[in-house]
Copies of this chain bind each other. A is one copy, B any other.
Amino acid sequence: MDIGTLFGIILGLVLIIGSIIVGGGASAFIDIPSVLVTMGGTIAALLITYPVGKVKAVFAVTKKILKAGNLDLEPWYRTLVELATVARRDGLLALESQLESIDDMFMRKGVQMMIDGNSAEAVAAVMEQEISNLEDRHAIGHGIWRSMGSYAPAFGMIGTLVGLVQMLRNLSDPSSIGAGMAVALLTTFYGAFFANLFCIPIQGKLEQRTEEEVALKRMLLTGILAIQSGDSPRIVGEKLLVFISPSERGRLER
């Protein structure tokens, strides 16, 4: 798992839970009906908005992405320069032998199309469409986490309103006012906590990741088109370098 993400989640939990324990009365912060209203309401609204299949798929993808480390552009850079070297030396058809060593479906498809003799326009069109479809599919994942991040505080507020109305009907017993209001506020707390420590950060992480993947795929497309147009390995490398941040370029040019 990405060490920063794990550390962030633990840090957040320790700080909030710690401040609860230090303040005393941690048991007052556990209230099953409040959890059910906040989290259950969020899930209910989510199931109305999105098909069950997509919600499940997004959770699986999220788990995979949180586990994965960061994307490193370097090996892709080296592979492309190597393919360019082979193509320059032995011709485009010689890439056929390299094909099975390419794991990535996207890159493989591009190289295959190139070997099959498709025009640069055809290769670019199909691969651009793949990138655009990837963005569309990922957008659903961002949407699901964004929805959770806004449903959770909303249902937290709904729960608090229910609790307030119930408390206000029993004002005759002053001793119960504080406890009633404390319980009423719990759902707002749950909603804000869940949204800000999980939903919104995870949505941000997924969006980051989509951008990284799209940038990688654009780099792959640029590389394949450069190889197809017969560029020398040095030129291919230079065209790829613009996709890499200046601070990392030095390492690659060596």
Chain A residues close to B by CB (< 8 Å)? 2-5, 7-9, 11-12, 15-16, 18-20, 22-25, 28-29, 33, 36-37, 40-41, 43-53, 55, 57, 70, 105, 126, 129-130, 133, 136-137, 140, 143, 147, 151, 154-155, 157-159, 161-166, 168-172, 175, 177-179, 181-182, 185-186, 188-189, 192-193, 195-198, 200-202, 204-205, 208, 211, 215, 239, 242-243, 245-247
Contacts and interface: CB of A to CB of B under 8 A. Distances in A.
B189 A5 contact: no
Pairs A-B, 5 closest by C-beta atoms? A8-B47, A171-B178, A12-B44, A48-B201, A49-B204
Nearest to A147: B204
A70 B53 contact: yes
A216 to B, nearest CB: 13
17 contacts: A4-B47, A4-B55, A7-B47, A8-B46, A15-B36, A15-B37, A15-B41, A15-B44, A16-B37, A41-B197, A48-B197, A57-B247, A151-B196, A158-B192, A158-B196, A161-B185, A168-B185
Nearest to A45: B201
A143 to B, nearest CB: 8
Nearest to A4: B52
A11 B158 contact: no
- Copies of this chain, complex-wide, total 5
Contact of A16 (B158, B182, B197): B158
B51 A2 contact: yes
A3 B52 contact: yes
A25 to B, nearest CB: 5
Given A16-B37, A19-B33, A162-B189, 5 more contacts: A15-B37, A23-B166, A49-B204, A136-B215, A165-B186
Contacts of A8: 43-49
Given A165-B182, A168-B182, A19 B45 contact: no
A129 B218 CA distance: 12
Given A3-B52, A41-B197, A172 B175 contact: yes
Contacts of A196: 41, 45, 151, 154-155, 158
Contacts of A170: 178
Nearest to A239: B126
A243 B105 CA distance: 15
A12 B41 contact: yes
